[in-house]
Amino acid sequence: MPEKPYDHNQIELKWFERWRDADFYKAEENSSKPKFYVLEMLPYPSGTLHIGHIRNYSIGDALARYKWMRGFNVLHPMGWDAFGLPAENAAIANKRPPREWTLQNIAAMKKTHRRFGFSYDWDREVSTCEPEYYRWNQWFFLKMLERGLAYRKKALVNWCPKCATVLANEQVVEGCCWRHEDTPVEQRALEQWFLKITAYADELLADMSQLEGGWPDRVLTMQRNWIGRSEGAEIDFHLAETGEPIRVFTTRVDTIYGATCVILAPEHPLNETLLNADQKAQAKAMVDARAGRDPGDIEKEGFFTGHYAVNPYSGEQVPIWIGNFVLMGYGTGAIMAVPAHDERDFEFCRKYDIPVRPVIRPVDGTLAVEPGMKESFGDYGIVENSGPWSGLPSEEARSKMAAHAEEKGFGKAAITFRIKDWGISRQRYWGTPIPVIHCPKCGMVPVPEDQLPVVLPDRIDITGTGRSPLENVPEFVNVTCPKCGEPARRETDTMDTFIDSSWYFYRYCDARNSKQPFDPAKIAYWFEIDQYIGGVEHAILHLIYSRFFTKMMRDIGLIKNSEPARRLFTQGMVIAEGAKMSKSKGNVVGADMLAEKYGTDTARMFVLFAAPPEKEVDWRWEGADGIYRFLGRVYRFATRATAGTGESDRKVLRKLHQTLRKITDDFETRWHFNTCIASVMELVNVLYAEEGKISPTALQEILEKVALMLAPFAPYLSQEIWDELGNKGPVFRQCWPAYDPDLAKEDEAEVVVQVNGKLRSRIFAPFGTTKEELEARAQADEKVQPFVAGKQVIKVITVPDKIVNIVVK
């Protein structure tokens, strides 16, 4: 056969056309095969897919194709996380309705998806901005409302006085409005909706033991920290003038004799009566300054209120301060500061010259002396200068002192969580309307289930002012009360878009159901997800919210599983030519551009080849060139190779089966696709070297198996080779080729030779060669000679078939 050039455009377009209307990738409804649910996180429809997306999808696609070839009934769906702020910003900037903008982006991205030939079951496509989908967000909300898992309370929002609008956190830039860089953002208290995720805090934490081994440790650690369970005590200090209690939460009640002040959050309710007008203004400024910032990044500041609190253990009076780093959302919104034994308190008290009083002695040391402490001592130790508790170890003092508080009625042992209830109200247009009506007579009335969905009005003016753009749509706002029939007002807040992504993967199992969110029997078959794949940036938020939704759905009786995904894989980022990709730098590597230049097979193979999938990949154009050349080499060999008499059969078949063994093992365990692809490259080198010396039968077997083993990584090229070899049907519908362990076996062992533990050479010897012979050959090896010549051999350690280590002096 004459060699053919690798014309990626011709090959890919040909199969793209032929496969366009075929439904190879449909999951079977009633299958006797074992099931495998593989899922990549659904994208936000920004308009373009870049190489980072391609990496995510290429990993999932390779796995899906491999599992198909292994005989599984595979579910591999895709959808769109279609609500969100960018659509609204685009609407303001370009005067285009968010819906139009979003649908156009979806169409463009889907085209790219199809061009790459990712193996999705498009019949199950889900788009979260469609009423068919978000009506079930509303339905879940009503279920949670019935159960007290959804509730309303006042909470702070970011407010730009110039725009006269509520801002999302991402619209606050360094404390100022994104559109008015000179206007500091204020915090205003509004009635908002919350989901009671804290009701599941204990279970979310405990069930992580089921995820160990299947989820990355890093993700589990981030979730543990986010949930942040601490055991401690709630203790009532008292306002000196009135005796009014001030409840503090502490994890170290054993240090309470070292408390030298009480610090309240600037938004603490007690401030209303405690502070004068100037102080109130100062406290409000502190709250405002937090807008859009991580409280941990703010410089600690505070002021003395002029009031004192009484320590219930010692009877001592300590000053009451306001501190910007104390948050209402954690514990009780009030802390006792023990600067000698807490780093943050130490920093604050040194800044304001508040006394530092050591009361915990290191177990094998002496009590620190003040003045003169350079840093706090935060470990457990022996309690000192603490009345009747002196001399107790910290652990014992903690439990005894908490019990004492409970007995005397001024406190108790308590557990607190860092995780807060999930604030889901957004004063935005492009999201799911919250299905609630406010009636002057009946109060808050849920929209009856049979009136769902509450549909977003389509054409509205988004001006960027006011509480929510929906407030300016009378047809939406003005309704009659479902209870009394009188005029009432519809809720204008929409839901946080993280709700959309908290359960979308259930909907894929029954995407067109109009009676229920899904048929529970289908979930029972497909769940848990066997492999979830996405970026580590979703370790908290999305991956905690979806675990919460799963538990909530189980408790309302819809599903049986308690966790959504058995295994999670977090792929590394893709950077380009050493730098993070960003629109402003203009270095975003777009998927369409790649498909044009090299073809989609090369783009997929490059991101899989350049690094192990969990590591960062640096996109290099010359790296893509290398992969392109390799694919060309495979194709040219497959189309031109001539057979011979077969003197190299043993050698090439051994290499073939070794390569198959390596790829099979990797799919089943660690997914080091980079080394898998490298091993195919080695195989191809051997094939070129032995060309003309391989028998016709062996050559046919080898080429077919090369096509099959490349099918998960480069489906178009594999199909073309499969076709050229005279085979019928899609290559990725064939059985995954089994490797023969006997054929894969080496005739000779590769024995590593070390001198004083350093690698110096490798020798090849028949399996089972004796120790003596290996040692003799090792010492005679010419690469080893320079390191042993003229030296005294002290001993030689030999493991037959593996290693010889010569120890010299």
Give 625's contacts (C-beta < 8 A, 6+ positions apart): none
- What is residue 809's three-state secondary structure? coil
From 335-343, 483-491, 503-511, 682-690, span contacting Zn ion (CB under 5 A): 483-491
**Chain centroid offset of residue 459 CA:** 35
- Point out which residues pair with 322 in neighbouring strands: 264, 303
CA separation for the pair 564, 558 (Å, rounded):
13
Q: Is residue 349 within 8 Å of 356, Cβ to Cβ? A: yes
Per-residue binding letters, 102-141, with Zn ion (x by CB under 5 A): ----------------------------------------
**Nearer of residues 161 and 766 to Zn ion, judged by Cβ:** 161
- What is residue 384's three-state secondary structure? coil
Residue type, 628: Y
Least CB distance from residue 468 to Zn ion, whole Å? 16
Task: Name the one residue in this structure whose structure tokens are 């083993």.
Answer: 709
Least CB distance from residue 565 to Zn ion, whole Å? 40
Pick out residues in 411-440 that bind Zn ion (CB under 5 A).
439
Per-residue binding letters, 697-736, with Zn ion (x by CB under 5 A): ----------------------------------------
**Nearer of residues 322 and 437 to Zn ion, judged by Cβ:** 437
**Nearer of residues 484 and 776 to Zn ion, judged by Cβ:** 484
**Nearer of residues 49 and 163 to Zn ion, judged by Cβ:** 163
**Is 484 near Zn ion (CB under 5 A)?**
yes
Least CB distance from residue 488 to Zn ion, whole Å? 6
CA separation for the pair 336, 462 (Å, rounded):
47
Least CB distance from residue 442 to Zn ion, whole Å? 3
Least CB distance from residue 484 to Zn ion, whole Å? 3
Within a 13 Å sphere around the CA of 176, how many CA atoms are in the beta-carbon half?
Answer: 7
Which one, of 389, 485, 400, lies nearest residue 437 by Cα?
485
Q: Is residue 359 within 8 Å of 308, Cβ to Cβ? A: no
Which one, of 270, 265, 223, lies nearest residue 242 by Cα?
270
CA separation for the pair 89, 40 (Å, rounded):
27
- Within 10 A of 161 (CB to CB), how many other CB atoms are there? 13
Per-residue binding letters, 256-295, with Zn ion (x by CB under 5 A): ----------------------------------------
CA separation for the pair 323, 262 (Å, rounded):
10
Considering only residues 199, 442, 681, 796, which one is a binding residue for Zn ion as defined by CB under 5 A?
442
Per-residue binding letters, 154-183, with Zn ion (x by CB under 5 A): ------x-xx-------------x-xx---
Q: Is the peptide bond before 216 cis (omega within 30 degrees of 0)?
A: no
Strands (E), 668-768: 748-755, 758-766
**Nearer of residues 61 and 491 to Zn ion, judged by Cβ:** 491
Considering only residues 483, 542, 620, 693, which one is a binding residue for Zn ion as defined by CB under 5 A?
483
Least CB distance from residue 446 to Zn ion, whole Å? 12
Least CB distance from residue 352 to Zn ion, whole Å? 34
CA separation for the pair 190, 483 (Å, rounded):
25
From 404-412, 425-433, 478-486, 657-665, span contacting Zn ion (CB under 5 A): 478-486
Cα four-point dihedral sign 422, 427, 428, 432? positive
From 152-160, 381-389, 603-611, 769-777, span contacting Zn ion (CB under 5 A): 152-160
Least CB distance from residue 444 to Zn ion, whole Å? 10
**Nearer of residues 85 and 744 to Zn ion, judged by Cβ:** 85
Helix, strand, coil fractions of the chain, as percent rounded to 5? 40, 20, 40
Kindly calculate the radius of gyration of the chain based on its CA atoms and give it in whole angstroms.
Answer: 33
From 103-111, 391-399, 473-481, 539-547, span contacting Zn ion (CB under 5 A): 473-481
Cα-based angle 635, 639, 643 (whole degrees, multiple of 5): 120
**Is 454 near Zn ion (CB under 5 A)?**
no
Give 685's contacts (C-beta < 8 A, 6+ positions apart): none
Pick out residues in 514-573 that bind Zn ion (CB under 5 A).
none
Tokens of 272: 């209303």
Least CB distance from residue 59 to Zn ion, whole Å? 41
**Nearer of residues 177 and 710 to Zn ion, judged by Cβ:** 177
Within a 13 Å sphere around the CA of 144, how many CA atoms are in the beta-carbon half?
Answer: 28
Least CB distance from residue 72 to Zn ion, whole Å? 53
**Nearer of residues 344 and 438 to Zn ion, judged by Cβ:** 438
**Is 589 near Zn ion (CB under 5 A)?**
no
- Point out which residues pair with 417 in neighbouring strands: 229
Q: Is residue 281 within 8 Å of 271, Cβ to Cβ? A: no
Considering only residues 211, 328, 354, 481, which one is a binding residue for Zn ion as defined by CB under 5 A?
481
**Chain centroid offset of residue 6 CA:** 38
**Nearer of residues 479 and 558 to Zn ion, judged by Cβ:** 479
Considering only residues 441, 583, 640, 762, which one is a binding residue for Zn ion as defined by CB under 5 A?
441
From 116-124, 132-140, 274-282, 481-489, span contacting Zn ion (CB under 5 A): 481-489
DSSP 615: S
Residues binding Zn ion: what is the number (CB under 5 A)? Answer: 12
Pick out residues in 180-219 that bind Zn ion (CB under 5 A).
180
CA separation for the pair 75, 183 (Å, rounded):
50
CA separation for the pair 553, 557 (Å, rounded):
6
Give 377's contacts (C-beta < 8 A, 6+ positions apart): 340, 341, 358, 360, 362, 368
**Nearer of residues 92 and 678 to Zn ion, judged by Cβ:** 92
**Nearer of residues 319 and 435 to Zn ion, judged by Cβ:** 435
Least CB distance from residue 486 to Zn ion, whole Å? 5
**Nearer of residues 11 and 447 to Zn ion, judged by Cβ:** 447
Least CB distance from residue 164 to Zn ion, whole Å? 8
H-helix or E-strand containing 531? strand 531-535
Tokens of 106: 């979806």
Least CB distance from residue 485 to Zn ion, whole Å? 7
Least CB distance from residue 171 to Zn ion, whole Å? 8
Which one, of 561, 558, 458, 560, lies nearest residue 515 by Cα?
558
Least CB distance from residue 476 to Zn ion, whole Å? 18
Q: What are phi and psi of 692, to 5 degrees?
A: 85, -5
Least CB distance from residue 174 to Zn ion, whole Å? 14
From 8-16, 134-142, 480-488, 593-601, span contacting Zn ion (CB under 5 A): 480-488
Binding site for Zn ion (CB under 5 A): 160, 162-163, 177, 179-180, 439, 441-442, 481, 483-484
